[in-house]
């Protein structure tokens, strides 16, 4: 069971990375608008003026 001494720090590290990625995503507006992009396919506009 000494493997726990290695696995627990690894889990700590992985969770740390996951938390950092999550905070990065929130700060970069990844969760701002979960509804609108589904409708993008219906817009037949080729420009990229408001994306």
Partner 1 sequence: MTRSTISVSDMHCAGCAGRIESALEGIAGIEATYVNPARRLVHVEHTADIDPVGLLQPIEDAGFHPSLSRIESGSARQRDLLKRLGIAGLAMMQVMMFAIALHAGAFDGMEPAYRRLLQLASLLFCIPVVAYSALPFFSSALTSVRSALRTRSSALSMDVPIALAIAAAFSVSLANTLSGSGEVYYDSVVMFAFLLLTARYIDDRLKVRFEDANWTLAALPEHAPVVHPDGSLHDLRLGEIGQGSRVWVEQGRQIPLDGVVTSGEATLDESTLTGESVWVRRVPGEPVFAGTMNRGAGFELRVTSTVADSRIAAIAELASRAQADKPPAARLADQIAARFVPAILLLAALTWLAWQFADPSQAFVAALTVLVVSCPCALALATPAAITAAMTRLRQCGIVLTRSDTLEQLCGIDAAIVDKTGTLTIHDPVLSDVTWLADTGHSRTELQLVAAALERHASHPLARAFQRAYPQADTSQVDDVEVIPGAGVTGRYRGRNVRIGHAGFCGARDDDERAVYLAVDGVPAARFSITDPLRGDAAAAVAGLQSAGIDITMVSGDAPERCAALADTLGIRYAARQAPESKLALVRELQQQGHRVLVLGDGINDVPVLAAADVSAAVLESSDLVKSNADVLLLSRRLGSLLDLLAVARRTRRVVRQNLGWALAYNATAVPLAALGFMAPWVAALGMAGSSILVMSNAARLLSRNRAPLADGRGGTSPGRAIAPLSNPGLAQP
- Contacts with partner 1, residue ranges (CB under 8 A): 1, 4-5, 8, 11-12, 15, 18-19, 22-23, 26-27, 31-32, 42-44
State the minimum distance, in angstroms, from the CB of residue 29 to partner 1: 9
Q: Both tokens of residue 28? A: 């970069």
- 51 Cβ contact list (under 8 Å, min separation 6): 40
By beta-carbon proximity to partner 1, the closer residue of 4 and 46 is 4
Tokens of 33: 């608008």
SS3 of residue 48 by DSSP:
coil
């Amino acid at each position: 069971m000494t493997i726990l001494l290695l696995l627990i720090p690894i889990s700590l590290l992985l969770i740390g990375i996951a938390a950092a990625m999550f905070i990065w995503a929130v700060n970069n507006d990844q969760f701002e608008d979960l509804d609108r992009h589904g409708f993008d396919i219906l817009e037949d506009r080729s420009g990229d003026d408001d994306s």
